Structure 1
Amino acid sequence: MSAQPGPSPNARQYALTALRERISAGLWEPGEKVNEQELAATLGVSRNTLREAFAALSGDGIITRVPNRGVFISSPGIADVRDIYGARAALEPAALQWGRDLDVGLLAQIVTAAEEARGRGDRHAVADANQRFHREIVAGLGSPALDETMARLLARMRLVFVRVLAAEPDFHAPYVDENRQVVGLLQARERAEAAGLLRTMIMRTGDRLADLLR
Structure 2
Amino acid sequence: MPAAAPAQNLSDRVAEQLRSRLVDGELVPGQRLSEAALADSLQVSRNTLREAFRMLVHEGLLVHAPNRGVAVVVPSIAAIIDIYRVRRLVECQALAQAYPQHPARRRLRQAVEAAQRLRDAQDWRGVGTANMEFHKTVVELADSERLNAMFAQLLAELRLAFGLLRDPEFLHAPYVDMNLQITELAEAGAFAQAAAMLQDYLAHSERTVLAVYARHLAGMEAAG
Q: Could you tell me the TM-score, scaled by structure 2's length? A: 0.85
Aligned length: 211
- 8 Å Cα contact 1:114/1:176 also seen in 2: yes
2:219 matched residue in structure 1: none
SS in 2 for 1:170: helix
Gaps of at least 5 residues in structure 2 are 215-224
Question: 2 CA distance for matches of 1:26 and 1:62?
Answer: 13
**Between 136-145 and 149-158, the greater mean CA deviation after superposition:** 136-145
2:174 matched residue in structure 1: 174
- 8 Å Cα contact 2:124/2:168 also seen in 1: no
Question: 2 CA distance for matches of 1:98 and 1:89?
Answer: 14
Question: 2 CA distance for matches of 1:122 and 1:15?
Answer: 27
SS in 1 for 2:170: coil
Give the partner amino acid of 2:19: R
Question: 1 CA distance for matches of 2:118 and 2:18?
Answer: 26
Alignment of 1:22-171 (within 5 A): 22-100=21-99, 101-164=102-165, 166-167=166-167, 169-171=169-171
SS in 2 for 1:64: strand
Indicate how the Cα distance of structure 1 residues 119 and 27 shifts in structure 2: closer, same or farther if over 3 A, else same.
closer
Using the TM superposition, give the Cα deviation of residue 168 of structure 1 relative to its aligned residue in structure 2, in angstroms: 5.7
SS in 1 for 2:70: strand
Question: 2 CA distance for matches of 1:48 and 1:16?
Answer: 13
RMSD: 2.2
- 8 Å Cα contact 2:125/2:168 also seen in 1: no
Q: Could you tell me the TM-score, scaled by structure 1's length? A: 0.88
Question: 2 CA distance for matches of 1:55 and 1:160?
Answer: 21
Identity of aligned residues (%): 36
Question: 1 CA distance for matches of 2:127 and 2:188?
Answer: 25
